[in-house]
Structure 1
Amino acid sequence: MGLFGSSGIRGLIGKDIDAELGVRIGRAVGGLSGTVVVGKDPRTSGDLLVNALTAGLIEAGAEPYRAGMVPTPTLACAASHFDCGLMVTASHNPPEYNGVKMWNQDGSAFDGEQTEEVERLIAQGGRKAGWDEMFEERLWPGAIDEHILTILEEVGPVERSIVLDCGCGATGPVSPRLFRDLGCNVVAINANPDGRFPGRPSEPSEANLGDLMSLCKAKGMAGIAHDGDGDRMVAVDEDGRYVSGDRLLALFASLLGVKDMAAPVDASMVLDDIVGRPIVRTRVGDMFVSEALKKQRLPFGGEPSGTFIFPSVNYCPDGMLAGAYLLKLLDGRPLKDVVSSLPIYPSARDSFSFDPSQGKKVKERLAEEMSSLDGELTTVDGYRVDLGHGWLLVRLSGTEPKVRLTAEARNRKDLDQIAEMARSRVRKALG
């Protein structure tokens, strides 16, 4: 069926995702799990899917518990008390999207075997329990309190003045409270949840954070921004400059002093240089980073998109925990000073369209071109070639007929050479 992507089930409401699918998902998960906690972000279609999931869970004989509107990491934290958790969200996507993320007790997303089993049960229609096997739904009102307490115990007090941009998402009632409880002086914007995201688009990209950057510059304060469901965190320094997820990954690796970590194949090689050895590379997607952290017992991981995972708490990306850790590790120092001390490597990105009917042939030709290069080849997600002085990554887009190219080097001269060589080989593969 191919329902699952790299971050659960997600699509356009009314086209890809509807109440009927929600009931089928609920029946499938309910047939595998006795107790399930369900949460949602503020999207307007959230109640539709929560009601559908709950109906399916009851029909399958499972016990559903409603956590209400909560951030995704809050729901993942609550899942520790149940067989699993279901989060209705489309994360950073526009408001017309929604979906379902599935969480294990340890905060990790359902893995490949689990999602395959859920898809199989959805296709079969799922379990239908008898009337005497059904349970009434119950409320689980303490999820936010528990999550905040968990972060307070993990991070401890932090005295800092910060600006928070909650993006009108699920973190609005949670993140400002958390940082004030930590001991911070908080200026919050876009803190009223609204599933239409009127304050700014849900994705906390540089292009979407103009208000936050202006406010940080005016007040001389660092800022933190979340996406719609709170699993991401990016920052803005005291001069109003955007600090990307890639830079934050490097900052965390440096300040935590980790000796190993996991990040996807498109993350900067500055991580390898900071850690002092080649890091564990995964497919693009936080669930794959989480799987690597679990299997190899690594202390930290994340993605350039702004997801950060701290296994000492659980295996779910947590934007609020990441923000709290960031302020704690800065230890009173200006964010701009710490970020400026990190090396910056120039990078280049490009994309190439191709005929969708030629997808298989394009993939074969790309494999030939990349494997013939004199470098270390990694094929966990596309073709990444480490060349010593730089690297390149060629991947087929998962959403459109395009080849994505990323290149990075320690200086501009080497980058230009690597990028042009990579472009030439991609063009050759495309014929």
Structure 2
Amino acid sequence: MKISISGVRGIYGEDLNLHEVVRFGRLFASFLTQRKKRQCLTARDTRDSGKILLRTLSACLMERGIDVYDLDVAPTPVLFREAKRYGAGIVVTASHNPLEWNGLKFVTEGRGIFEEELNDILQGTVSDPDKFGETYSIKSNYLDDLYNLISVSDNPNDVALGFDLGGGATCGYTDGLFKRLNYKFVCINDTPGISSRAPDPTSDDLSELSFLVRQNKLDFGFAFDLDGDRVVVVHSNGQKQNPDSTLLLCVASALKMGARKFVTSLDTSICIKKLIDRNYGSLEYAKVGEANVVRKMLEVGAEAGGEGSSGGFILPKFNLCRDGLLAAAIISSLDRASIKECLTLGSEYSQIRSKIPVNSSNHQILIEKLLDLLQSESSQISTLDGIKATLDEDSWVLVRTSNTEQVLRISVESKVGKVDYIHKKIMEIVRSVSEHVN
């Protein structure tokens, strides 16, 4: 079972069972009552195990005196936005993980929990309740709020879209939004719990969506993961775009909305910084991870940003999490000149993300040794999250430890045609150092 600021995740019936759900439900309830909070919003994605986990979780919260406001099946971004009104929330989801997985994602103050809050939850004690909570079924205002955010007059009437909902929680929400926005669109895998593709659109080839886009001569295709926080774009030629290109298109739209101050994760593509620089904006980097990006955004007052590696776009004034529906809506409103500029810029760069097995106890020693080796070959070094070595204005490597696996994660970016050489070289260096450390 994985426990991090991204939540609790495991394989249902194995390391994630009802006993663990009861334990974490009670711990989170105590965390809330210690902060004088007596309400919690709940929702789930469409996994088979979601219903029983949500019922168990709700019972634990009510047992501890927490009133539960239930959205039932709803995308994670919907719960995040609604949780601003209720103060806290939990989504039963394993996001893009395989179907046999499930988990709990904790929300407070409309955002994911920070590291110190996770520690408070894990180290807390279950207090005796002074009363029992109640449960209420509620509806969300999310679609109304998103509709009001998007300028309908900017939406070209001749744009046609395709959506692959993956049988996930965006079923019902997607057509509800884009019908109201007056777009022409067609959906596949739009029955909750039923899908012909994998839950993670960043790893699936999205061949069905690509065919749909080409066959119907659509302008864009969008594929969501099971809880709707990430989205992958398919262009009109049927070509699946990498996650950084998804974020690039969102940033272009945010710039048109007036945003100039951005925060992205450290592993985000150079092309996003170049686009922001062209438009006289500023960009600051955060440690990898949605909660880390959000925290940095709040600290510096950023207007937009996200994670390139997951294509996750965050617009703080609307939602303090990655929001796939928001991303699809604002990308669809872009004019063709901006789309061409983004796709041309993005096509100049290539990223490779990989990992090497390394025992967690050796992570820090290995990072320190790599730092000495990379300093001599780099124009700039950042130790914000592992080691990010800037090799030249178009190339960087990032080596960082994993919070969830016994591995080092390695990300490389450079111009197309050069990235393979750099990746091969850094992998050889890391393996050589790792053999001496292990």
Q: TM-score, normalised by structure 1?
A: 0.89
> How is 1:30-429 mapped onto 2 (pairs within 5 angstroms)?
30-31=29-30, 32=32, 33-105=37-109, 107-121=110-124, 124=125, 126-130=126-130, 133-140=131-138, 142-143=139-140, 146-157=141-152, 158=155, 159=157, 160-194=159-193, 197-205=194-202, 207-221=204-218, 222-257=220-255, 258-276=259-277, 279-304=283-308, 305-328=310-333, 330-331=334-335, 335=339, 339-340=343-344, 342=346, 344-354=348-358, 358-389=362-393, 390-410=395-415, 412-413=417-418, 415=419, 418-429=422-433
Q: Separation in 2 of the partners of 1:3 and 1:347? A: 26
* Comparing 304-313 and 352-361, the one that deviates more: 352-361
Q: Structure 1 residue 249: deviation in Å?
A: 1.9
Deviation of 1:410 (Å)? 3.9
Distance 1:426 1:338 in 2: 33
CA distances 1:239-271 after superposition (whole Å, capped 9, x unpaired): 101122201222233343343311212111112
Instruction: String of CA shifts for 1:325-375, please: whole Å, max 9, x gaps.
Output: 1111x1366956752355522344454344666445433422333345443
- For structure 1, the residue ranges without an aligned partner over 5 or more in a row are none
Question: In the aligned structure 2, how far is the partner of 1:423 from the partner of 1:357?
Answer: 20
Task: Provide the rounded CA distance (Å) in 1 between the counterparts of 2:84 and 2:406.
Answer: 40
In the alignment, the residues of structure 1 paired with residue 261 and residue 181 of structure 2 have an alpha-carbon distance, to the nearest angstrom, of 29
Secondary structure, in 3 states, of the residue corresponding to 1:54?
A: helix
List per-residue Cα deviations over 1:134-161 (Å, max 9, x = no partner). 1221211x11xx1100100000323331
Q: Is the 8 A contact 2:47 2:99 kept in 1?
A: yes
For 2:136 and 2:369, the matched residues in 1 are separated by: 55
SS of corresponding position for 1:279: strand
Q: How many residues align?
A: 417
* Residue in 1 that maps onto 2:9: 10
Q: Any stretches of 5+ residues in structure 2 without a counterpart? A: none
Aligned with 2:196: secondary structure?
coil
TM-score normalised by length of structure 2 = 0.88
Percentage of matched positions with identical amino acids: 29
